[in-house]
Amino acid sequence: MKGTNASLNLPNALTASRIFVVPLLVVVLLTPYSEDWLGLPRHVLGVALFLGAAFTDFLDGQIARRRQQVSRLGQLLDPIADKLLVSAALISLVENQLAPAWAVVIIVGREFAVTGLRSIAATEGVIIPASRMGKFKMLAQVVTVALLIVAGAAGRPPVSNFGRPFPAIEFWTVPELRAALAHLFGAGATATNDWQVLIYTLGRAMLWVVVLSACVSMYGYFRAFYRDAVARRDVRQREAAERASRANAARQATTTAER
């Protein structure tokens, strides 16, 4: 069935599947289930599950618009599924010391703040669409999480002080990274661990991009909401003034007629 009230359709099924993938992703990333039961390295299965689930986010929206199957259920479940997926992956990375907790707190906190803002706006009959910066942030999150999962093939950082006190600015002072860069640019063969170190460094750099874009996009959402709230207040005040003016004019007309 088509239309805005249709709920049982392919886009919503894809969205629901993203929610059901979340506990499986956590099990794969935090336990030896993948190696013991399936014979697959946890980072391979983990990144496959995460990227597959992230792709359904793009796919369900495209299908819903093409088939005109945009429903209220889908509009409710889609952001919930996205936030559950990303939050579960990031928290699992913190548990494995592959990402700093402070960055994850900012990213997850931003998701809750924007969700709450959109809920408040919806009660006022206002829809806040996804901004370009918000879409960029989501893409950056997917790339960042995938890089960190791949780099943590052993379930822990490939560099001794990554995930703990780490020089975010002078990252080139990390011994393993300096060795990996030296091997990459000609001084010796580049080993598997060197590639993991380089990928992890890129993932940590991308995490800064995610944090900054999360803060900028959150500011944009709140600014748009405040601007719209002020505009609605001005409209209500103008309408109230017009009603008061008409009522006053009516009273004056009645008084004149009585005389």
* Number of neighbouring beta carbons within 10 Å of residue 42: 24
Ranking 1-10, 81-90, 158-167, 237-246 by mean pLDDT, the lowest is 1-10
User: Is 233 domain-assigned?
Assistant: no
DSSP structural state of residue 130:
P
Residues 22 and 120 in one domain: no
Residues 124 and 179 in one domain: yes
User: Is 121 domain-assigned?
Assistant: yes
Per the prediction, the chain carries an average pLDDT of: 81
* In the predicted structure, residue 213 carries a pLDDT above the cut 90: yes
Overall residue count recorded for the chain in this entry: 259
Q: Which domain holds residue 59?
A: 1-95
Could you give the percent of the chain with pLDDT greater than 90? Answer: 25
Q: What is the pLDDT of residues 73-124, one digit of tens each?
A: 777 778 888 889 999 999 999 998 888 899 999 999 998 888 888 777 777 7
User: Is 212 domain-assigned?
Assistant: yes
Kindly report the backbone phi and psi dihedral angles of residue 186, in degrees, each rounded to the nearest multiple of 5, phi listed first.
120, -20
Residue at 107: amino acid letter: I
Residues 201 and 156 in one domain: yes
Mean pLDDT of 175-188: 79
User: Is 242 domain-assigned?
Assistant: no
Residues 120 and 91 in one domain: no
Q: What is the pLDDT of residues 124-177, one digit of tens each?
A: 766 677 778 888 898 999 999 999 999 888 777 888 765 454 555 566 667 778
Q: Over the range 114-139, which residues count as b (16 or more CB within 10 Å of their CB) and which as e?
A: beebbeebeeeeeebeebebbeebbe
For residue 209, the Cα-to-chain-centroid distance in whole angstroms is: 13
Residues 125 and 49 in one domain: no
- The counts of H helices and E strands in the chain are 8, 0
The pLDDT score that the predictor gives to residue 157 is 82
Last residue of a domain, one of 63, 95, 127: 95
User: Is 10 domain-assigned?
Assistant: yes
Could you give the percent of the chain with pLDDT greater than 70? Answer: 83
Residues 162 and 196 in one domain: yes
User: Is 18 domain-assigned?
Assistant: yes
Query: How many structural domains comprise the chain?
Result: 2
Q: What is the pLDDT of residues 28-52, one digit of tens each?
A: 999 888 888 888 888 899 999 999 9
